[in-house]
Chains A and B, each alone.
Chain A
Amino acid sequence: MPTALPVLNDRFRPVERFAARPGRDYTLLPMRLISLDAGRHVLTNFAGEYVVLPKETTRRLVRHELDTASDVFEELLSRHFVSVGGSDAALDLLAVKYRTKQSLLAEFTSLFMFVVSLRCDHSCPYCQVSRQSLDRHAYDMKPDVADRAVDFMFRSPSRALKVEFQGGESLLNFPLIRRIVERVESRNLAEGRDVQFVIATNLAPLTDEMLDYCRVHEIVISTSLDGPRELHNQNRPRPGGDSHKLAVRGIRRVREALGHDSVAALMTTTAASLAQPREIVDEYVRQGFSCVFLRPLSPYGFAVKTGLARKYAADEWLEFYRAALGYIIELNLAGTPFREEYSSLILRKMLTPFPTGYVDLQSPAGLGIAGLIFNYDGDVYASDEARMLAETGDRKFRLGNLAVDSFEDVMTSDALIDVLSETMTEGVPMCVDCGFQPYCGSDPVYHHATQGDVVGFKPTSDFCRRNMGVMRHLVRLLEDDERAASVLETWI
């Protein structure tokens, strides 16, 4: 408690005499809670602020028995879990914070993925989509499809447009990439959007001409790096071998031509990765990256169905994640700044008022309204996973085809709207009461694919289990481990 002694000159009133001072009772503002461990709860308010309370304190809080002169009450008042009679600015502030948190919704779709070819020179067992084909035209996007896709994209009201070229191996159809880039650029002279181009590639087919083109058109590169050589090559077999060597050489060439930060790497956690958290992190550090995204394997695609990749339980991934994160924190404390991106996304939601654009952790889901994907054949899907699912025969999230459907048709289709409204975590069983709801999201494609239902049954959902595990772990680190917290604070 702040002390007012020694007292003010008597022409001033002491703090006890101000009307906004808490009286004996208080009003509870909207909040959710979840058990952190045996003795504590995590409480979150509407706008994503959290407090950790002993369970007994939570009980007293909700029974209106909390001492309003206590420090813990002041914390709850400060973070808008309660309000008191003399002041109601809390409600306005909560409204503004909620609006800030949801502000990306107003921006609408900003990520557009173009599958320029399904052909690929690799044969990764977990890949759901690539095709080895001699008939190059069967699986390449046609120019007229690409042109329609560009026109479609500019129908989105978003100020920022991110154009991502996907495959297969996207560079195998570089002429189409050029066509799309130039068409977007010329349209954008009049539109004036904030456009960014990304090519997702395994870098194997990269030529100097392509690099020149990327430099001139400010295109950045996203590639795959699964870890050290042996692991990467095991995950990504390729006729002629040594995908790792090609990736590392490619990364170096991209950096030389376009600058150090113009290449990002993604890793997929396979069953073989689980035993190598440190080795994977070390490889990322060795290759000069400042972060890694510990991405779990989609457990429902082609590969898992065909038994080519071993599925693993959420808990196995969590164990891997915690080990890797612990190692990364130690690296930071020893002087190597390095981030884990999935944690950063969630920390940003916990520790700042701002949203993140990450598609899988949104409510309403990011499907369609955050990102869309144009398949080589003109089909429009709600997400990359939705397209992969279609390759295994399930076209549930196909929203239309560029040849026949307009932007308006697609964005207002029942296939999209029904799914978005049915799966909002604000209202679905379990999430509705979950203390982590403000940080989490609904992943309808995942739940449809694994449980046959877009809402999903969260008690047995690995998506839920994984996120709960990550969030509990992060809150514990922030609360109980000062050294770790000092590092995590810098990742927002």
Chain B
Amino acid sequence: MIKLHARLEKRLDAEPFVARVARGRGGGRGDLREVQFVDGQDEPSPGYGGYLLAEGLEEGPWAARPDAWPIPEALGHLSDGDVVRISPRSGELWVMYRRGSTSNSMLLTERCNSYCVMCSQPPRDVADDHLVRSYLEAIPLMSRETNELGITGGEPTLLGDRLLEIIRKCRDHLPETSLHMLSNGRMFNYLSLSREVAEIGHPDLMIGVPLYSDLPHRHDFVVQADGAFDQTIRGLMNLARCGVSVEIRVVLHRQTVERLPQLARFIARNLPFADHVALMGLEMMGFVRMNLEPLWIDPADYRPQLTGAVEHLHRRGMNVSIYNHQLCVLDRGLWPFARKSISDWKNEYVDECVACAARDHCGGFFASSSLRRSSRIRPLTPDMIPPESATSPTLSATP
């Protein structure tokens, strides 16, 4: 697992700042908004806003400079083009963006108006305005070649105008980057907010909104908020009406799988305008740890519901994907829908996977799944792997 936070020496006289990492020959532009990564191979050169000294250089002549920090070995992964925030007074370095990663996302606030029973990032009612400020500085430093960038929380819509500012900044500085925002959708119940987001005219924005049940009270229960179902449904309709792409996300656990086929039917009937439906495995983080027994269900035990839901949606022309599931717990017919979705700094494999012929196609596990994972993980043999031609979704009438 890649470390995104590290401690540095404290420097009480310097302000926090956001900077792009320059590393290696030809790296960076030698600009004050950059910090140079100095290791044994390259000489530090003047003109940067700061210097990060790799292990072994902490005794050298540069170490004495106020704008140079020895960094721990765990930050050796820092690459040219990454964006970091350095807080000298508290002695913290935070890797905000990794140029080589396919799953960069911006956590804009920890506050939330829901309190989902399985939240992997439990909300905290804290003053975290610095997050938006930092990202507003970081976005212009990110590579224009970034394929995809996420916005998460907490609930980003609680930021109101500052969220709009972030989206605008992405539109202006990263016009070729898909922007994917996770939101509970409740604030889009206000048509005005949906309109404002639409009017920014971001070229490639999609909003992923969770829906946990076809029955209002069951959805409200999962997100622990009265009236949330109605708000989310109206939010989805408002977004669609304003022409904003939406994705529906369903986290699968014991409280949601039982009615999964009914939920699939509900989505196909009522929300056919959704651009994508993601059916997602449970990440054993946050509140899941405190609600483990009422939430945990072995994915191998909900195969019929999952297969039924995917078939139903697929036949009705909906674009559907399965996230965070190991191939060996899915019915064969569902493999073409499974995506390798676990963020690169979170995924792992287990002993069984060593001998598995499907490893390259399989997304593996969240690191957090050491807490609990399917009891039916089995390595697959080569004859069980479908030929390349089977990569596009096809389901037979009688699976």
Chain A residues with CB under 8 Å of chain B are 2, 4-9, 12-15, 18-22, 47, 49, 74-75, 77-79, 84, 86-89, 92-93, 96-97, 100, 332-333, 337, 351-354, 483, 486-487, 489-490, 492
Contacts and interface: CB of A to CB of B under 8 A. Distances in A.
B237 interface: yes
A5 B291 CA distance: 11
Q: Which 5 A-B pairs have the closest CB atoms?
A: A87-B216, A20-B216, A20-B217, A21-B217, A15-B221
A8 B258 contact: no
B115 to A, nearest CB: 7
Contacts of B144: none
Interface in B77-133: 115, 117
Nearest to A348: B316
A337 B398 CA distance: 11
A2 B218 contact: yes
A492 B270 contact: no
9 contacts: A18-B220, A18-B221, A22-B217, A78-B215, A87-B217, A92-B233, A93-B270, A96-B270, A489-B315
A188 B215 CA distance: 48
A404 to B, nearest CB: 43
B326 interface: no
A49 B237 contact: no
B230 A19 contact: no
B397 interface: yes
B346 to A, nearest CB: 24
A47 B255 CA distance: 29
Contact of A353 (B117, B214, B269, B397): B269
A168 B244 CA distance: 50
Nearest to A93: B270
Nearest to A78: B214
A86 B315 contact: no
B294 A6 contact: yes
A385 to B, nearest CB: 32
A78 to B, nearest CB: 4
B229 to A, nearest CB: 6
Among B265, B270, B291, chain A packs the most CB atoms within 10 A around the CB of B270
Among A14, A18, A79, chain B packs the most CB atoms within 10 A around the CB of A18
A78 B258 contact: no
Nearest to A48: B269
Q: How big is the B interface, by class?
A: 35 or more
A4 B268 contact: no
Among B115, B221, B227, chain A packs the most CB atoms within 10 A around the CB of B221
Given A2-B218, A8-B291, A18-B217, A89 B233 contact: yes
Contacts of B215: 74, 77-78
Given A18-B221, A19-B220, A20-B227, 19 more contacts: A4-B294, A12-B224, A19-B226, A49-B269, A74-B215, A87-B216, A89-B216, A89-B230, A92-B233, A96-B270, A97-B269, A97-B270, A333-B398, A352-B269, A352-B316, A487-B397, A487-B398, A490-B315, A490-B397
B217 A15 contact: yes
A86 B216 contact: yes
A12 B117 contact: yes
A2 B217 contact: no
B266 A492 contact: no
Given A92-B237, A97-B270, A486 B397 contact: yes
B398 A20 contact: no
B359 interface: no
A185 B262 CA distance: 47
B255 A4 contact: yes
B13 interface: no
A48 to B, nearest CB: 9
B272 A78 contact: no
B286 to A, nearest CB: 12
A15 B115 contact: no
Among A47, A351, A483, chain B packs the most CB atoms within 10 A around the CB of A351
Contacts of A352: 268-269, 272, 316
Contacts of A2: 218, 255, 258-259
B290 interface: yes
A353 B272 CA distance: 8
A2 B217 CA distance: 12
Contacts of A332: 397
B340 interface: no
Contacts of A96: 237, 270
Contacts of A9: 287, 290-291
A196 B364 CA distance: 48
A89 B294 contact: no
Contact of B229 (A15, A87, A333): A87
A19 B227 contact: yes
A89 B262 CA distance: 17
B214 A20 contact: no
A5 B230 contact: no
Given A2-B255, A2-B258, A5-B294, A486 B115 contact: no
Contacts of A97: 269-270
Contact of A6 (B259, B266, B293): B293
B234 interface: yes
B129 to A, nearest CB: 26
Contacts of A78: 214-215, 262, 265-266
Nearest to B214: A78
Contacts of B220: 18-20
A7 B292 CA distance: 10
Nearest to B311: A489
A18 B291 CA distance: 19
A366 to B, nearest CB: 23
B336 to A, nearest CB: 16
